[in-house]
């Protein structure tokens, strides 16, 4: 098992929802954190009262590649190392098979797929250097199965799973391990308007954070390629 001491983890979309829960759990466990958000000031809640020497708040805009490079550079400049990247920021918009909405589809590709790929490319040299780098892509159960006709989000999350497998191969020899984390409904802002399931039946963000904690602690010899998390009796993938 790998201890948190001194390890530096980047988390995108750390200002709310799953990203915020992950940040809180990892901080408590002893990790140093580099938190990314479109509006870094929104990270104040996440890092309120935390030791400033253990936390960096930076701008991360999925649709601005320069912000990806700047964030990674600022992280390595500040801590001198990088051990993990959690590609968490994401959006869900309605794009069905029959209703054309290319703008929404393009936005989801940009935020859910192209930005995690760009972050992976930018972070990989540093993750390779530490010998036990970790990348966790917060994909979705919608990246493993298609529910109804809502195809756009699913397409991007299937792609996020593909990215995870390709990353696992790319980094393997240098100790980088990558996981596609695939939860069903999680109780966050993203699911606030879901009518098919009550919020109190959804996965808690804190449960997802515990899984991230475990994934980060596993040794190089215990790689989990996909972690599928159900909150109802879906067919097992
Ligand atoms: N909730 C679920 O049921 C569920 C299930 C499976 C997977 N997921 C995935 O889990 C991840 C986190 O979702 P969540 O439920 O925590 O959603 P959320 O509460 O809506 O939070 C989304 C996060 O992504 C950030 N974000 C959105 N667009 C961005 C952009 N262009 N640039 C930078 N950051 C951006 C948001 O920042 P702002 O505050 O600036 O908007 C926010 O921090 C997503 O990838 C989502 O697809 C969610």
Q: Choose, from 27, 31, 153, 185, the residue flagged as catalytic.
A: 153
With a cut of 80, say whether residue 235 has pLDDT above it. no
Instruction: Return all residues near 143 (Cβ < 8 A) that are at least 6 apart.
Output: 154, 157, 158, 159, 160, 161, 180, 182
Which among 190, 195, 197 is the best mutation to test ligand 1's pocket, defined by most ligand atoms within 8 Å of the CB?
190
Q: Does the structural domain 8-229 have CATH classification 3.40.50.10490?
A: no
Structure tokens at 150: 């809502």
Domain layout of the chain by residue ranges: 8-229
Taking the whole predicted model, whether its pTM rises above 0.95 is answered as yes
Q: Residue for token digits 């606030």?
A: 192
**Mean pLDDT score of the chain, rounded to an integer?**
96
Determine whether 153 is an active site residue. yes
**Percent of the chain residues past pLDDT 90, beyond the cut:** 92
Average pLDDT over residues 93-117: 96
Nearest-atom number in ligand 1 for the CA of 142 is: 6
Instruction: Return all residues near 64 (Cβ < 8 A) that are at least 6 apart.
Output: none
For 11, other C-beta atoms within 10 Å of its C-beta total 30
Structure tokens at 141: 């159960």
Q: What pLDDT, on the 0 to 100 scale, is given for residue 68?
A: 98
| Closest residue to atom 45 of ligand 1, CA basis | 90
Please report how the helices 115-130 and 65-79 are oriented relative to each other, as an axis angle in degrees rounded to 10.
20
């Amino acid at each position: 098992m790998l201890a948190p001491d001194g390890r530096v983890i980047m988390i995108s979309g750390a200002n709310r929802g799953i990203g915020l829960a992950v940040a809180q759990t990892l901080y408590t466990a002893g990790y140093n954190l580099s938190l990314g958000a479109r509006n870094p000031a929104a990270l104040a809640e996440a890092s309120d009262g935390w030791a400033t020497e253990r936390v960096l708040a930076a701008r991360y805009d999925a649709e601005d590649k320069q912000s990806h490079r700047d964030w990674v550079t600022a992280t390595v400049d500040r801590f001198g190392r990088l051990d993990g990247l959690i590609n968490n920021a994401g959006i869900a918009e309605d794009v069905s098979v029959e209703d054309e909405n290319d703008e929404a589809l393009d936005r989801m590709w940009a935020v859910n797929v192209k930005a995690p790929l760009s972050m992976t490319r930018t972070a990989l040299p540093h993750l390779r250097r530490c010998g036990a780098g970790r990348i966790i892509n917060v994909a979705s159960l919608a990246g493993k199965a298609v529910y109804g006709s809502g195809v756009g989000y699913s397409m991007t999350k299937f792609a996020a799973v593909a990215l995870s497998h390709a990353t696992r191969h790319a980094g393997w020899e240098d100790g980088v391990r990558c996981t596609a984390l695939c939860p069903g409904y999680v109780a966050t802002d993203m699911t606030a308007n879901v009518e098919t399931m009550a919020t109190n039946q959804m996965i808690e963000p804190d449960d997802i954070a515990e899984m991230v904690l475990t994934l980060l602690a596993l040794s190089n010899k215990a790689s989990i390629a996909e972690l599928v998390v159900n909150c109802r009796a879906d067919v097992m993938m």
